[in-house]
């Protein structure tokens, strides 16, 4: 059955965006991707989607796409995502994440777009007082990245109150893994995320993995995070879109995680299990600004959306990340 409108996906050539494009297409949506290809890859965009190369800041362009393609919903992934860089270059983050989002939301309101889904982050919480963290916990981000995203959430709340556009702000925890069918994965160079770094070490792209701190107040002393498989996260976006369409008067802020934490050592154990060849671990000092533990209370998303995680298993996440990394390694040779 064909849908009443098409969906615009900004950042659809990026890691989470490209997986969400696959999930939307697989669910029968018509998709238009807008991406400036600064960090994304055109090959990551499925052929079934239309592609426009350009910036979300270009309001003439976004107005035209919205009108020409009968866009009824926007999934907004485009933005900058490197926390330490946000500290040294905050203007980049307030431009790419906050100002660009404002421009896109204005085009959406003027163009009559009814639904907006925003890539937010657990970084909006800063260092939460209680774990697992609920959506109602105080939002006190500790870096410009988190603040740049929180400001967009706040804009969306005001705009949904003033205009007929509802929204979902999805607060991602630690996203990892790759499409189980091998259609996309995390492909940017210079990775800093633990699972990506570990699978790069396992394929010989690095010679070791650093453990940033063994003196945290956690069971084994290493940092604990809630790792969510990127395909489950992509499915959550499709479910959120269904919900926004079903109940156009309501908007949502939802944590996206499995509600369960794994320590750095446990993640590296999983990588060793999958590859059957231990990677070298080197203990280093804590990285600035790393909280000891960050785990989602995911009861809101489970209660609100028709969403059941399919790949809530650290070995599966690592195995999918590993399979993608092997593909990338083949491409390089």
Q: Least CB distance from residue 40 to ligand UFG, whole Å? A: 16
223 lies in the binding site for ligand UFG (CB under 6 A) = yes
Interface mask toward ligand UFG for 263-282; x: CB under 6 A: -x------------------
Question: Which two tokens mark 128?
Answer: 């939460």
Q: What dihedral angle (degrees, nearest 10) is formed by the CA atoms of 97, 6, 320, 291?
A: 30
Q: Which residue has the tokens 């991707």?
A: 33
Q: Closest approach of Cβ 223 to ligand UFG, in Å?
A: 2
Q: Compute φ and ψ for 320, nearest 5 degrees.
A: -70, -40
Minimum CB separation of residue 192 from ligand UFG in Å reads: 5
DSSP β-ladder status, 224-225 and 262-263: antiparallel
Pick 121 or 231: Cβ nearer ligand UFG: 121
Nearest to ligand UFG of 54, 221 (CB atom): 221
Catalytic residue among 145, 172, 227, 252, which? 145
Quick check: 99 and 34 in contact, CB under 8 A?
A: no
Phi-psi region of 74 (alpha: psi -120 to 50; beta: other; left: phi over 0): beta
Active-site residue, 258 included: no
Contact residue for ligand UFG among 210, 302, 316, 329 (CB under 6 A): 210
| Interface with ligand UFG, residue 209, by CB under 6 A | yes
| Region of 54-62, 150-158, 205-213, 296-304 interacting with ligand UFG (CB under 6 A) | 205-213
Least distance (Å) between residue 105 CB and ligand UFG: 21
Query: Which of 101, 121 has the CB closer to ligand UFG?
Result: 121
Q: Which of 45, 150, 211, 238 binds ligand UFG (CB under 6 A)?
A: 211
Helices 194-202 & 264-275, crossing angle to 10 degrees?
Answer: 30
Structure tokens at 12: 């659809």
Place of tokens 């309501």: 250
Look up tokens 């671990």; give the residue.
281
Angle at 257 between CA 255 and CA 261, to 5 degrees: 125
Which of 5, 212, 218, 316 touches ligand UFG by CB under 6 A? 212
By 3-state DSSP, what share of the chain in percent is helix, strand and coil, each rounded to 5?
Answer: 40, 20, 40
Identity of the residue, 119 or 184, whose beta carbon is nearer to ligand UFG in the bound complex = 119
The half-sphere exposure of 238 on its side-chain side, counting CA atoms within 13 A, is 23
Print the binding letters for residues 83-122 with ligand UFG: x by CB under 6 A, - otherwise: x-------------------------------------xx
- 259 close to 132: Cβ distance less than 8 angstroms: yes
CB of 268 to ligand UFG, least distance (A): 9
Q: Which two tokens stand for residue 289?
A: 């600004």
**288 to 327: interface string for ligand UFG, x by CB under 6 A:** --x---x---------------------------------
Beta carbon of residue 71, minimum distance to ligand UFG (angstroms, whole number): 27
Q: Which of 3, 52, 44 is nearest to 24 (CA)?
A: 3
Can residue 193 be called a binding residue for ligand UFG (CB under 6 A)?
A: yes
In 173-238, DSSP assigns E strands to 174-176, 209-212, 224-225, 227-229
Classified as helix, coil or strand, 90 is helix
- Contact positions with ligand UFG (CB under 6 A) in 59-88: 81, 83
In whole angstroms, the minimum distance from the beta carbon of 126 to ligand UFG comes to 8
Q: Given the complex with ligand UFG, which of 29 and 227 has the nearer CB atom?
A: 227
For binding to ligand UFG (CB under 6 A), which residues are involved? 81, 83, 121-123, 145, 174, 192-194, 197, 209-212, 223, 225, 264, 287, 290, 294
């Amino acid at each position: 059955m064909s849908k009443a409108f098409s969906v615009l996906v900004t950042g659809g050539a990026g890691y989470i965006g490209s997986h969400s494009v696959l999930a939307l297409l697989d669910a029968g949506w018509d998709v238009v991707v807008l991406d400036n290809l600064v960090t994304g890859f055109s090959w990551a965009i499925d052929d079934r989607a239309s592609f426009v190369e350009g910036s979300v800041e270009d309001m003439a362009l976004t107005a035209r796409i919205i009108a020409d393609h009968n866009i009824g919903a926007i999934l907004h992934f485009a933005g900058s995502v490197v926390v330490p860089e946000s500290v040294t270059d905050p203007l980049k983050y307030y431009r790419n994440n906050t100002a660009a989002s404002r421009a896109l939301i204005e085009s959406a309101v003027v163009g009559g777009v009814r639904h907006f889904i925003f890539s937010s982050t657990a970084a909006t919480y800063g260092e939460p007082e209680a774990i697992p963290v609920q959506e109602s916990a105080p939002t006190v981000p500790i870096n410009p990245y988190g603040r740049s995203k929180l400001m967009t959430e706040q804009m969306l709340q005001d705009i949904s109150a003033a205009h007929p556009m509802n929204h979902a702000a999805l607060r991602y925890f630690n996203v990892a893994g790759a499409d189980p069918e091998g259609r996309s994965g995390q492909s940017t160079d210079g990775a800093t995320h633990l699972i990506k770094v570990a699978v790069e070490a396992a394929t010989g792209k690095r010679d070791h993995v650093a453990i940033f701190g063994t003196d945290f107040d956690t069971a084994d002393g290493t940092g604990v995070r809630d790792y969510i498989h990127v395909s489950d996260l992509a499915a959550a976006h499709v479910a959120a879109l269904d919900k926004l369409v079903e109940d156009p008067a309501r908007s949502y802020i939802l944590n996206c995680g499995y509600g369960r934490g794994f320590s750095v050592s446990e993640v590296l154990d999983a990588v060793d299990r999958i590859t059957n060849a231990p990677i070298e671990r080197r203990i280093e000092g804590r990285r600035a600004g790393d909280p000891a533990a960050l785990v989602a209370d995911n009861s809101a998303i489970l209660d609100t959306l028709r969403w059941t995680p399919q790949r809530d298993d650290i070995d599966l996440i690592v195995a999918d990340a590993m399979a993608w990394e092997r593909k990338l390694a083949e491409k390089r040779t």
